[in-house]
Structure 1
Amino acid sequence: MPDRFGCIERGTSMPLWSQVKASLTMLIREDGLKEHDRLPSESELCKSFGVSRTVIREALSQMVNEGLIYRLQGKGAFVRGHRDEQKFVGTTMGFSGEMAEKKQNVTRKILRQEVTYPTPRISRMLQIDPSHPIVAVDRVMLVEGVPRLIVRWAMLQETVPGLERIQLESRSLYDTINRQFGVRLVRADRWIEAVSLSAPDAELLEVEAGKAALKVESVCVNEVGHPIEYYIATFLTDRSRLHLSVSSLG
């Protein structure tokens, strides 16, 4: 392994972490590492470079900041490659539908799927009474096995009666509500803000707590203009970026 890395020169003006970073960057760009390939562990890198774990962690942190790698908690550091552009935030297309168009494999981890009552926020956004039942579906979306986003979704129960009993791990939610219930979403209002991941969300996305992410809040209406769908989606921005198309600007 040592011959794969450049030499570390001590006593120079270039910090050790910067030399490690330069060597690892060359390894990624010139040694044939592909997207999602795993880098050696921190202990292996310490041994190969002959430096402390602090030096290795600083080098890896800088590489994460520059978009060269990403980390999965408890699994290590991986080559990031390019970030996918997610266009579904600017349309009424679902995430699974967009990934299917890109021929990428999407899997889902269902966290919650039940009939419940809306929170005060959902009541206000859907313009319904707090006693009005909704179907809630919370899930983690994974692309090629890598967690990409968390979606906490709700829809009026009368719009999708029985959805809480349908197995959704292996199927698109939006394809299901369209085909099985004839739901058509025609317009959405969305709000996007930067957030720091809570510990529970970070664990779901397999990253460290406090990591930067984007939160998208959405309300969709049907053909007659009634709000029927609400969701909050939380994205990791080092794995994807949002693409919005805007027209008819004054």
Structure 2
Amino acid sequence: MSEGHRRARRAGTNLVPPLKALADRDNGLRDNGSGLPLWSQLKSALLTLIVTEKLPENARLPSESELCEIFGVSRTVVREALNQLVSERVIYKLQGKGAFVAPKRDDHGFLGSNIGFSGELHHTNHSVSRAILRQELVKPDERVRQMLGVGAHESVVALDRVLSVDGMPRILVYTFINLRLAPGFEQVPMQNRSLYDTLSRRYGIAMKRAERWLEAASATPEQAELLGIPAGAPVIAIESVTYMQTDEAVEYYTAVYRTDQARLHFIVK
């Protein structure tokens, strides 16, 4: 066992008391009408633990059984919360050893990868949340049809979201999903779920490649209100199309990224 994982084991042993304090403060996890499922509430509690305790890289989290006992939830709820944190690179798992805080990622490099916004954005000790503005079937306009390769009489799924980091809006995304490749997606609960992880787990879709375009822009009044910035503030406008293993286009989006909170990172090869 490496010295890093020895330290991780030692760090994990002292996390039960602060987690119990969090559970007591919030009166545990419950169906409180907020629309957040239990796994999402547990995920938020674990992110709070990582931030407030300033957990180092490779620190071990309490076991699944400990989390079940502390929060009074099933192992299914615990595993879903942990799986979401793994997919967003906040933590990682080792077979037979548990879950650990993932190494830090310094810059936001999603534009140079096919992982997606939330997968790349998650730095250690930071929380990504997603607010759903719209999720419904729509008739695509000419640009969407061209990028997704769908016909004029086909429907696509529109998924509009505001993604925030540590509670602060960072990016406004207008996504269109190819319904032929993801039937029924308009009914899939997406509140605080990773899009790419959901497409992978539910439909077996793995993203193979993406094309993205950037340009300087100014936030419209509506965009500014959603992002919490002044109207006319400089933003980066992004257009993207992502392809699955069969080279079929599965996702097309346009997005507005605020530039006052983070920078974008590229690797050119």
Q: Is the structural similarity TM-score above 0.5?
A: yes
Residue 132 to residue 216, structure 1, CA distance change in 2 (3 Å): same
- 1:169 and 2:188 matched: no
Paired letter, 2:110: F
Range with greater deviation from structure 2 (159-168 or 138-147):
159-168
Structure with more relative contact order (C-alpha pairs < 8 Å, separation 6 or more): 1
Which residue number in structure 2 is paired with residue 216 of structure 1? 238
Secondary structure of 2:255's aligned partner: strand
CA distance in 2, matches of 1:106, 1:154: 21
Unaligned runs of 5+ in 1: 1-83
CA distance in 1, matches of 2:121, 2:220: 26
Once superposed, what is the RMSD of the aligned Cα atoms?
1.4
Which residue number in structure 2 is paired with residue 193 of structure 1? 215
Which residue number in structure 2 is paired with residue 227 of structure 1? 249
Which residue number in structure 2 is paired with residue 154 of structure 1? 176
Paired letter, 2:107: E
Q: How many residues of Structure 1 are paired with residues of Structure 2 in the alignment?
A: 164
Alignment of 1:85-124 (within 5 A): 85-100=107-122, 102-124=124-146
Partner of residue 151 from structure 2, selected from 112, 115, 129: 129
Which residue number in structure 1 is paired with residue 201 of structure 2? 179
Q: Does the Cα contact within 8 Å between 2:109 and 2:121 map onto a contact in 1?
A: no
Alignment of 1:51-62 (within 5 A): none
Query: Normalized against structure 1, the TM-score is what?
Result: 0.63
Identity rate, percent: 40
Residue by residue over 1:176-200, the C-alpha shift from the partner in whole angstroms, topping out at 9 and shown as x without a partner, is: 1111111111111111000001010
Paired letter, 1:181: Y
CA distance in 2, matches of 1:191, 1:203: 24
Which residue number in structure 2 is paired with residue 57 of structure 1? none
CA distance in 2, matches of 1:239, 1:213: 11
Superposed displacement of residue 101, structure 1? 5.2
CA distance in 1, matches of 2:116, 2:228: 23
Q: Does the Cα contact within 8 Å between 2:126 and 2:165 map onto a contact in 1?
A: yes
Secondary structure of 1:207's aligned partner: coil
Superposed displacement of residue 136, structure 1? 1.1
Q: Does the Cα contact within 8 Å between 1:189 and 1:218 map onto a contact in 2?
A: yes
Secondary structure of 1:89's aligned partner: helix
Q: Does the Cα contact within 8 Å between 2:131 and 2:192 map onto a contact in 1?
A: no
Secondary structure of 1:85's aligned partner: coil
Superposed displacement of residue 89, structure 1? 1.1
Which residue number in structure 2 is paired with residue 143 of structure 1? 165
Greater Rg by CA? 1
Which residue number in structure 1 is paired with residue 265 of structure 2? 243
Residue by residue over 1:180-228, the C-alpha shift from the partner in whole angstroms, topping out at 9 and shown as x without a partner, is: 1111111111110000010100000011110000011001112122222
CA distance in 2, matches of 1:228, 1:168: 17
CA distance in 1, matches of 2:192, 2:147: 29
Q: Does the Cα contact within 8 Å between 2:175 and 2:253 map onto a contact in 1?
A: yes
Q: Does the Cα contact within 8 Å between 2:156 and 2:176 map onto a contact in 1?
A: yes
CA distance in 2, matches of 1:186, 1:144: 29
Superposed displacement of residue 158, structure 1? 1.8
Unaligned runs of 5+ in 2: 1-105
Secondary structure of 1:159's aligned partner: coil
Which residue number in structure 2 is paired with residue 60 of structure 1? none
Query: Normalized against structure 2, the TM-score is what?
Result: 0.58
Q: Does the Cα contact within 8 Å between 1:99 and 1:105 map onto a contact in 2?
A: no
CA distance in 2, matches of 1:103, 1:185: 26
